[in-house]
Chains A and B, each alone.
Chain A
Amino acid sequence: MGIARTAKIESVAKLAARIPDGASLALGGSFLHRGPFALVRELIRQQRRDLEIIKQSPGYDIDILCRAGAVRRARTGIVAMEGNFGLAPWYRRAIENGDVELEEHACATLTAGLRASAFGVPFMPCGGIHGSALAELNGWQKLPDPYGNAGETYVIPKIRPDFAIVLANEVTEQGDARVFGTSHWDRIMTRAADRVLVVAERQVATDTFRERPELTLVPHFMVEAAAVLPNAGWPGSCWPDYEVDYPAVEAYLGRDEAALADHLAAAPEAREEIAHV
Chain B
Amino acid sequence: MSESWSPFAYIVTNLARFIRPHEVTFSGVNSSLPMLACLLARRAYDFDFTYINVAGGVDPIPSSVPISSSDPVLAEGSTAIFGNEDFYDLCTRGGMDLCFLGAAQVDGRGRTNVSAIGDWHHPKVRLPGGGGGAVMLPTAKRSVTWRTEHSRRTMVETLDFVTAAGGMHGVVTPIAVFVKQNDRLALASWHPESSLEEVRERTAFDFEAGQARPTESPTQREIEALAALDPERRFETDAAIVLRKEAV
- Identify the A interface with B (CB < 8 A): 30-34, 56-57, 76-80, 82-84, 87-88, 91-92, 95-96, 98, 102, 104-109, 111, 126-134, 137, 181-185, 187-188, 237, 239-240, 243-244, 246
Contact check, B129 vs A79: say whether CB atoms are below 8 A apart: yes
In the complex, residue of chain B having the shortest beta-carbon distance to the beta carbon of A106: B134
Known: A128-B134, A239-B72. A108 touches B166 (CB 8 A): no
Chosen A-B contacts, 8 in total, with CB atoms closer than 8 Å, are A78-B128, A82-B70, A109-B135, A129-B138, A182-B55, A183-B81, A183-B83, A244-B71
B131: chain A residues within 8 A (beta carbon): 56-57, 77-78, 106-107
A193 → chain B closest CB, angstroms:
16
In the complex, residue of chain A having the shortest beta-carbon distance to the beta carbon of B166: A131
A57: chain B residues within 8 A (beta carbon): 29, 70, 131
Contact check, B92 vs A244: say whether CB atoms are below 8 A apart: no
Contact check, B135 vs A127: say whether CB atoms are below 8 A apart: yes
A96: chain B residues within 8 A (beta carbon): 123-126
Contact check, A108 vs B125: say whether CB atoms are below 8 A apart: no
B15 at the interface (CB under 8 A from A): no
Contact check, B92 vs A108: say whether CB atoms are below 8 A apart: yes
Q: Which of A80, A127, A237 has the largest count of B CB atoms less than 10 A from its CB?
A: A127
When chains A and B are docked, how far (Å) is the Cα of A34 from the Cα of B54?
A: 13
B136 → chain A closest CB, angstroms:
7
In the complex, residue of chain A having the shortest beta-carbon distance to the beta carbon of B57: A182
Contact check, B132 vs A82: say whether CB atoms are below 8 A apart: no
Contact check, A188 vs B85: say whether CB atoms are below 8 A apart: yes
When chains A and B are docked, how far (Å) is the Cα of A111 from the Cα of B88?
A: 10
B149 → chain A closest CB, angstroms:
14
B162 at the interface (CB under 8 A from A): yes
Contact check, A182 vs B84: say whether CB atoms are below 8 A apart: yes
A171 → chain B closest CB, angstroms:
19
When chains A and B are docked, how far (Å) is the Cα of A82 from the Cα of B131?
A: 13
Contact check, B132 vs A83: say whether CB atoms are below 8 A apart: no
Interface size class of B (residues with CB under 8 A): 35 or more
B125: chain A residues within 8 A (beta carbon): 92, 96
When chains A and B are docked, how far (Å) is the Cα of A31 from the Cα of B84?
A: 13
Contact check, A30 vs B70: say whether CB atoms are below 8 A apart: yes
A241 → chain B closest CB, angstroms:
10
B29: chain A residues within 8 A (beta carbon): 30-31, 57, 78, 80, 82
When chains A and B are docked, how far (Å) is the Cα of A94 from the Cα of B37?
A: 35
Contact indicator per residue, chain B 118-157, by CB within 8 Å of chain A (1) or not (0):
0010111111111111111111000000000000000000
In the complex, residue of chain A having the shortest beta-carbon distance to the beta carbon of B83: A182
When chains A and B are docked, how far (Å) is the Cα of A80 from the Cα of B129?
A: 9
B55: chain A residues within 8 A (beta carbon): 33, 182
In the complex, residue of chain B having the shortest beta-carbon distance to the beta carbon of A111: B85
Further 9 A-B residue pairs, CB within 8 A, beyond A78-B129, A80-B29, A127-B92: A78-B131, A79-B129, A104-B129, A106-B135, A106-B136, A107-B132, A126-B92, A131-B162, A182-B75
When chains A and B are docked, how far (Å) is the Cα of A182 from the Cα of B29?
A: 14
A208 → chain B closest CB, angstroms:
20
Contact check, A133 vs B67: say whether CB atoms are below 8 A apart: no
B114: chain A residues within 8 A (beta carbon): 78
A133: chain B residues within 8 A (beta carbon): 115, 120, 161-163
Contact check, A184 vs B83: say whether CB atoms are below 8 A apart: yes
Contact among B67, B69, B85, B134 for A132, CB-based, below 8 A: B134
A125 → chain B closest CB, angstroms:
9
Contact among A95, A128, A237 for B138, CB-based, below 8 A: A128
Contact check, B128 vs A132: say whether CB atoms are below 8 A apart: no
B238: chain A residues within 8 A (beta carbon): 84
When chains A and B are docked, how far (Å) is the Cα of A77 from the Cα of B162?
A: 14
A92 → chain B closest CB, angstroms:
5
